[in-house]
Each structure stands twice: as structure tokens, then as C-alpha cells.
Structure 1
Amino acid sequence: MSPDPIVAEITVPATPTEAFVGFTAQMGEWWDPLLSPEPATFTGIAIDPNGPVASVHGDEQYVWGRVMEWDPIGRYTQELWLWHPEDEATVLDVRFTESPEGSSVRLVHSGWLPGSDELRERFTVWDDLLRRYAAHVW
């Protein structure tokens, strides 16, 4: 049996489309550099709505994902293989829905293979990352 998905949620004072833009186009501004292949040289994240997701380190890019769904009205989904092989990619699914306070952002990181508990543990920081994201969007 595969490990349970990691679920993290936060509310941000923005429309779902603004929340989507803050999460995707501005990811490099709120992402923790320590969660990149080379933290000392991290300068951002590049996301192609029709292709790769990569950490930017000066002139170098390290691809660690691929966009699966890009819907600025409410959903972003990508394969993710940061710290593990591409053929063992997990899935990051983020939904942006309107709420009385702005937008509810619900992140589900799933697709863990049996025996991937140690790897999965490295991704239990999504709550912290969403707080960084919310502070950026605020």
C-alpha cells in the first residue's frame, strides 16, 4: 500500500486567479532556497505552462517537474521528482477556490511509491511553504 498523500491548506486574501499567479508565476519569490538542488546559487523557479518546472541557479536550470494542468481559474497540477528519479515522479495538485476571506488554497502531494517513506518525509514542509506563499501574496 502506498503512503497517504500530504495535504496542506491555507487561505489567502486574493481572488483564485491572483492566488494562482502568486503560486505559479511567483513561485521563485516565496520558495525556500534550501529546497533546491543548490541553495547557495538559487535565483528562482521557471515554470512553462506546457512543460518543465525547474530551479534556476544563475545560468543553470535543474528540471524537477512537468506541468500537467494549468488552469488560472482554479487548478495547477504537476509531476514532481525533486530528490528522486523522474520515473518515480509524484503528483502535486493545487486547487484555488473562492472563500469569504479570499481564496482557499488546497495542496495535495500524492503518488508516493511503497517504501518511499524517507523521501515523503522530506516533503512534509508544505505547510511552511504555504505560509511563505501566503506572506508573499498578502
Structure 2
Amino acid sequence: MAQPIEFSHRQHIENTELICADCHRGAHDGPQALLPGKSICLECHDDLFRGTPKLQPLHEAKAKGLAINWKPVSKLPEFVHFHHGVHFEANVECSNCHGDVSKMESVSRAKPLTMDFCIDCHRESQSGENFSTKQAVSWQRDLTDCSVCHY
């Protein structure tokens, strides 16, 4: 999917110590992992690689006071509520849903993100088959109950 600024997740992860939440604020503790605004990109790129043609749209957006209109790759229907922070606390890796973006030049939807996909993961974590994603909360309830995601 073409984005307003050419961006390689692979390059940013491979050559730095960045983690997803450094750019996608809210991924570890909020309901959403936000797409980065220009201020986040400029934390590094206000000076770093400033004159490169690939970053020209970023610096033009800054100069004109415009937002960067990223196109969401993993958009869910409005009636589905996915809380990133809850999943992070339960030790769910970003790659479980988003694939291994550290190998992606251009991010694409790597997993189906369908109800079956989510229910399968919830069943596994609830049964303890995948201990790394075992629900880590004291009020455990049936994770396959519709109201967990549809409220």
C-alpha cells in the first residue's frame, strides 16, 4: 500500500534500537497504537537525513503545518474493540497480529484479523496452550465471550 512517505519498518528496526511503541504511541498502554504524527518522526528526522528526497514530504508537512495522512493497514470494523494495552499486558507480541514487520520494506496486512483469527488466539491463550499470551489479569473471564471485543 502506497503511503504519503516511503517508509521501511525493516530499516528502522534493523538499524536502530526502536521498538513499536517508540513510534506507535499507545501500543503498550493505550487502547490504540497510534499512527505516528510528524512530531514523532521529527524527533529523529528533524536533523537526521534531513536533505534526503525520501524525507522531503515530512519536512514539507512541518513547514506547512500539515498532518501526515498515513493509510491504516490493520483497520478493524467500528464494532470491534481491540485494546492494545490489554494485549501488551498479556504478553501478546505485536507480530502475532501484524506479522514480522522487521522484515517488511512496505507494511502489508500479514494476518487476516478476522473474528476466527482472534477467537483462535483467545481460545489458545485461555486453554494455556500458548502460555506467553495467557491472560494476565485477576478477573479472568471467558475470552471467547462476544462482549470481550464487541461492546
Greater per-residue helix proportion: 2
Whose strand proportion is higher, 1 or 2?
A: 1
Shorter-chain TM-score tier: under 0.3
Taking CA–CA contacts closer than 8 Å with sequence separation of 6 or more, which of the two structures ends up with the larger relative contact order?
A: 1
Scaled by the length of structure 1, the TM-score of the pair is 0.27
Larger Rg, first or second structure (1 or 2): 2
